[in-house]
Amino acid sequence: MFSKRSAFEQRKNALTLALEAAAPRYDLTESNPTRAGLPYPGPELLAAFDNAAVRLYAPDPRGLLPARQAIALRMAARQLQVDPAQVFLTSGTSEAYGYLFKLLCDPDDEVLVPQPSYPLFEHLCRLENVRAVPYPLHYDGQWHIGLPELRSAVSARTRAILLVSPNNPTGSYLKRSELLALENLGLPLISDEVFGEYPLRDDPERCQSALCSERALVFSLFGLSKQAALPQWKVSWICMRGPKAPTEQAAQRLELIADTYLSVATPTQLALPRLLSLLAPTQTALHARLRRNLGKLRGLLSNGSVSPASLLHVEGGFYATLRLPATQSEERWVLDFLEKDSVHVQPGYFFDFADEAYVVLSLLTPEATFDEGVKRLLQRVQANVGRGPR
Ligand SMILES: Cc1ncc(COP(=O)(O)O)c(C=O)c1O
């Protein structure tokens, strides 16, 4: 009766069962900013909806022009030139992926996806009947796109290369040299830059956005969920840029796709320009939290004796990855932290790391929980090493 694409594995794994048995006291996986104790401009946010125009329904498939103009202004403040005509509003980033896969792919076409990366890619692709073909990110003290493997993954059915910059969870940004190499492949680039406004270190090699490309057809994705810490507003946008002819054709087709859904609510679109002018205090507090927790993590790792856990290089975004001794499986580590220390972290296999053992920590976690959770985790690692494999 049902489609193959909706036949997802529903079985609960050991981690889910353990979480159901006891709620952890130290949840280091929190990635919902609305639960992270950040300051929001409450009355001003509500006032942004106070607009007589909400009574009218006069949709624009790309999104209402004042909203797209406000987005273009915000991008200009980041030195990114975006034409409001090439901005498309969507209800969340997942919908943006859905639109772009509809635009670029027929059933069984392929898109190249980074690994490790955002776990939702598998679902997003499958729901559009698109095949997600992985290309690796390699770590040698910094993360790099595995360009030789990416080139060999290109087939006659490849329709786009997906990038996440900074990536979830590796925190690595796209580099200028990588963008140049990708341009040479002549494929459209879909670049998820939802964490882009949260750099955690300076790097002259960093590519500010794939929109800086001079040659490729680029679709960069942004949204309020991370930028304004407001995922519940369900506003994201695609900014497009590229050679004239394919960009114009893509815009016409995307407009038709968007016209079929007209999904972003009018009151939200009308409120967007005011909202974008209000987000600075929340964003500043969020950024400060990320930097503070990363600093604390570094401090705890270098405290006293050399820790058997090590922090992988983080350039930006909400997450930090720890490499743990491979004396036991990733799953065993995560279950130990949960069952013995009431600490919840995500295992690397959620993100398809190539080997074990890694755990991913959310830097968005409120400070007190983060500090105690990390201390307990590091003590557990220390206590477990030296006992040999089991
Ligand atoms: C890489 C990446 N893109 C998009 C999203 C979700 O964005 P949205 O809430 O706008 O759908 C996430 C959520 O964590 C993410 O990690």
pLDDT 10s digits, 84-127: 999 999 999 999 999 999 999 999 999 999 999 999 999 999 99
Residues with CB under 6 A from ligand 1: 31, 92-94, 118, 164, 168, 192, 194, 223, 225, 231, 236
CB atoms within 10 A of CB 332: 16
Complete DSSP assignment for 111-124: EEEEES--TTHHHH
Please check the confidence at residue 145 and state whether its pLDDT lies above 80: yes
Contact 68, 62 (CB under 8 A): yes
Q: Which is it for strands 26-27 and 346-347: parallel, antiparallel or unpaired?
A: unpaired
Q: Does domain 11-31+281-383 have CATH number 3.40.640.10?
A: no
What does the radius of gyration of the chain's CA atoms come to, in whole angstroms?
Answer: 21
Structure tokens belonging to residue 189 = 């680039």
Taking CA atoms, 7 is separated from 2, 15, 102, 127, in Å, by 8, 21, 20, 10
**Residue with the nearest Cα to atom 4 of ligand 1?**
93
Please, which pLDDT band fits residue 390 given cuts at 50, 70 and 90? very low
**Residue that is written with structure tokens 């943006």 in the block:** 96
As a whole number of angstroms, the distance between CA 219 and CA 242 comes to 9
| Mean pLDDT, all residues of the chain | 95
> How far is ligand 1, taken at its centre, from the CA of residue 113, in Å?
15
Angle made by CA atoms 191, 277, 45, in degrees to the nearest 5: 105
CA-wise closest residue to 132 among 151, 105, 167? 105
Residue 306 predicted with pLDDT over 90: no
Helices 367-384 + 280-301 axis angle, to 10: 20
DSSP conformational letter for 279: -
Q: Where are the domains of the chain?
A: 11-31+281-383, 49-278
Which pLDDT tens digit goes with each residue over 312-327? 999 999 999 999 999 9
Q: Check residue 386 and give its pLDDT.
A: 62
Is pLDDT of 337 > 60? yes
- In the CATH hierarchy, which fold is given to the domain comprising 49-278? Aspartate Aminotransferase; domain 2 (3.40.640)
Task: Check residue 171 and give left, alpha or beta (phi > 0: left; psi -120 to 50: alpha).
Answer: left
CA 31 to ligand 1: nearest atom: 14
In the predicted model, is pLDDT for residue 389 greater than 80? no
pLDDT attached to residue 387 = 56
Backbone conformation region of residue 74, classed left if phi is above 0, alpha if psi is from -120 to 50, else beta:
alpha
Using an 8 Å Cβ cutoff, are 270 and 54 in contact?
A: yes
Q: What percent of the chain has pLDDT over 70?
A: 98
Mean pLDDT of 128-137: 98
**CA 43/CA 41 separation, integer angstroms:** 6
Residue 59 has pLDDT above 80, yes or no: yes
State the closest ligand 1 atom to the C-alpha of 234, by its place in the atom list counted from 1: 10
The string of pLDDT tens digits covering residues 21-37 is: 889 999 999 999 999 99
Tokens of 141: 């003290």
Q: Would the pLDDT of 283 be above 60?
A: yes
The pTM of this model reads 0.96
Query: What CA–CA distances, in Å, run from 112 to 161, 259, 281?
Result: 5, 27, 37
Question: In the predicted model, is pLDDT for residue 301 greater than 60?
Answer: yes
* SS3 at position 335: helix
Cα–Cα distance for residue pair 80/74, rounded to 1 Å: 9
